[in-house]
Structure 1
């Protein structure tokens, strides 16, 4: 018997997964530095005896759109945005070096420079630690300078430099934590080298590159596809019941 009900079921399931990807994009439309994920489906042949017209559906995330978002002026000294390409290197909770363009920074009680979500910002020799200061300034090359407590207001002391990197876009993938990292087959031996050509803009943040209207339209289209897959399952179930009744009457 043709198990077409399972074909419809796989289509409905993968359509729901695609909806989740677009819903996640839409939920992060206002998240600083967020990069939207792509979602697409491809057909998978049925193994064993089957009709040639039957194929399962499988949703996959082929990649992430790395296009830069718009710059939003905040005027805050600890807000920075990348100029053009490049990423800021940070350290996640597991000690792994990952990359982000979310430049809303803060200084914790221990003087460590962190992102708004708590990851430590990497410098030339590791996480950046700041002594007590009265004023802080981040240069366009990532240099972090301060006016020490009690020091002359016009005398800046260079403390460290934010590690800016520029790995090839095709070598990057987004992890489940939302940060970018090198793909396993493109990993380097040792940490990512800094790129002295990368530049920052202080007092700005990069917005998400998600187009809310486009994501909403995609979800509506997927909803129609889900309804179609459910109808396929209903039709397959009805055909199975009719076949069973015919066999009973033989």
Structure 2
């Protein structure tokens, strides 16, 4: 069998992997705080054997990553919405009990009176614990992440200081995306809180995916995949012709 089949099929596999990542980005264009997923592959020369010419090039997958540039800020005016100003993350408690990080600041209060993300994950305070919200309390975020609340019918002078959001800002090269869409430190340990970080109350950060760029990338990948399939088809045709010639000679 012509070895070009293996080279072309390998290239087609890498293209499909990248197309999957791009499709996921397109599906999350409207997801608050979503970070664009990157799937990179690079070409490598195939080392020829004795008597072969160095004409074949294969592909290998590079380490996938994410684009951490900030998305557009959208003012909502909702008291429980917050966006991080600049780089950094909100700390949340993942379903497995570990500490994880997200940029999504669409918060709510669940039935247990805990501050949670829009997916129901508890938001963590500086001491690493879920944040309790008074029943029917009016919540206010300060720019440094301090959370205050005023109970229903309480005097404005009786405002309660509840907790401070845990805001972290580790180096982006240490952040890994999990299958659940949350980010964690590569070593698995909790990140240290960064008291210099600031938030924008009443705002949310939109996805940093550029829909136009993602669409162009999808079209480009589709064309490249067609080229790989054409190479496989040509290799099959050439093999059939070669077999016909050999049969005729024999």
C-alpha RMSD of matched pairs (Å): 1.8
Indicate the residue corresponding to 1:16 in structure 2: 16
SS in 2 for 1:240: helix
- Given the two structures, how large is their TM-score scaled by the length of structure 1? 0.92
Structure 2: runs of 5+ lacking an equivalent: none
Q: How many residues align?
A: 246
1:156 aligns with 2:155: no
- CA shift, 1:40, in A, is 2.1
CA distance in 2, matches of 1:170, 1:157: 38
Bigger mean CA offset, 131-140 vs 69-78: 131-140
- Superposition pairs for residues 24-39 of structure 1, below 5 Å? 24-39=24-39
Runs (4+) of structure 1 moved beyond 3 Å?
44-51, 59-62
Indicate the residue corresponding to 1:220 in structure 2: 219
- Superposition pairs for residues 2-151 of structure 1, below 5 Å? 2-44=2-44, 49=49, 52-125=54-127, 126-151=129-154
CA distance in 2, matches of 1:45, 1:120: 49
- CA shift, 1:68, in A, is 0.5
- Given the two structures, how large is their TM-score scaled by the length of structure 2? 0.92
Q: Name the CA shift for 1:240/1:111 in 2 (closer, same or farther; >3 Å).
A: same
Bigger mean CA offset, 148-157 vs 167-176: 148-157
Question: Are the equivalent residues in 1 in contact too, given 2:76–2:203 (CA < 8 A)?
Answer: yes
CA distance in 2, matches of 1:65, 1:116: 22
SS in 1 for 2:33: coil
Structure 1: runs of 5+ lacking an equivalent: none
CA distance in 2, matches of 1:215, 1:61: 19
